[in-house]
Amino acid sequence: MNHLIDAFDVLLDPESWSGPGGFGVRMLEHLWYTALALIISAAIALPVGLMVGHTGRGRALAVISTGLVRALPTLGLITLAALFVGIGLTAPMIAFVVLAVPSILAGAYAGVESVSPATTDVAKAQGMSGWQVLLRVEIPLGLPLIIGGLRNATLQVVATATLAAYVGAGGLGRQLFLGLRTQDYPLMLAASIAVILLAIVLDACFEFSQRLLRRLLGLV
């Protein structure tokens, strides 16, 4: 329990948040990594996932890739990438994208598929083109699930970003590994608690926006 008190002392000390290597900067780095990874992954996965859901083609491939990635050890991915591209942000970013793409993909196609065929049929019968059906019917109605995919990807990236420091990048993992190497358990603990809080806050934001959306779309 003393360790816990020490850890909170670290977290509550303004000193530890300031400076170039402080918690404040690391937290921002962590968020920045997460945001960047999400933007890249979404740019790849959203169009593909929406098309898979809209056309029904390539569904099997999307399902298999989601399953495969679950089996992929994140640490292995990061270290392998680091050996090839060197120390820095590139290696972890590759790993983040590889891990995030399938979640977003799955959310996107599941979202589009969740719209009942009757609804899309009616839209077509009213004279909507394929694009209009996708943009005006399938995406809005599938939005909660599409955001669910982004949510899973975010959690995945926030967790994995902690490992980025292991291959020389920044983020809250820096503090964690510093504590690990210097046998400073309170510091490790403080960093861990910070990551956990970050993850829970982000998750809660997604939960809130999904609920809000469901209400706005009249799905509840």
**Count of positions on this chain that bind other proteins (CB under 8 A):** 41
163 neighbors 173 (Cβ within 8 angstroms): yes
Query: Least distance to other proteins from the beta carbon of 163, Å?
Result: 7
What residues numbered 117-176 form the site for other proteins, per CB under 8 A?
155, 158-160, 162-163, 166-167, 173, 176
> Considering only 53-61, 115-123, 132-140, 193-201, which stretch makes contact with other proteins by CB under 8 A?
193-201
Q: Which of 8, 32, 85, 203 binds other proteins (CB under 8 A)?
A: 203
Among residue numbers 28 through 87, which ones bind other proteins (CB under 8 A)?
67-68, 70-77, 79-80, 82-84
Does residue 17 bind other proteins (CB under 8 A)?
A: no
Applying CB under 8 A, does 101 fall inside the site for other proteins?
no
Residues 128, 153: Cα–Cα separation, whole Å: 32
Instruction: Tell me if 4 contacts other proteins by CB under 8 A.
Output: yes
Residues 6+ apart with CB under 8 A from 156: 99, 100, 103
Segment near other proteins (CB under 8 A); pick from 32-40, 46-54, 123-131, 177-185: 177-185
193 in contact with other proteins (CB under 8 A): yes
Helix axes 2-12, 185-217, angle to 10 degrees: 70
The count of other CB atoms within 10 Å of the CB of residue 117 is 8
Instruction: Report which residue type is found at 18.
Output: S
Q: Smaller CB distance to other proteins: residue 46 or 189?
A: 189
State the DSSP H helix or E strand holding residue 134, giving kind and residue range, or none if neither.
Answer: none
Smallest gap from Cβ 35 to other proteins, in A, equals 17
Under rule CB under 8 A, residue 12 binds other proteins: no
Q: Which is nearer to other proteins, 115 or 188 (CB)?
A: 188
Rule CB under 8 A: is residue 1 a binding residue for other proteins?
yes
Residue pair 114/145 in contact by the 8 Å Cβ criterion: yes
Separation between Cα atoms, residue 12 and residue 141, nearest integer Å: 43
The answer to whether 117 and 193 have CB atoms below 8 angstroms apart is no
Closest to 158 (Cα-Cα) out of 96, 218, 112: 96
C-alpha span between 97 and 41 (Å, rounded):
5
Residues within the interface to other proteins (CB under 8 A): 1, 3-4, 67-68, 70-77, 79-80, 82-84, 155, 158-160, 162-163, 166-167, 173, 176-177, 180, 185, 188-189, 191-193, 195-196, 199-200, 203
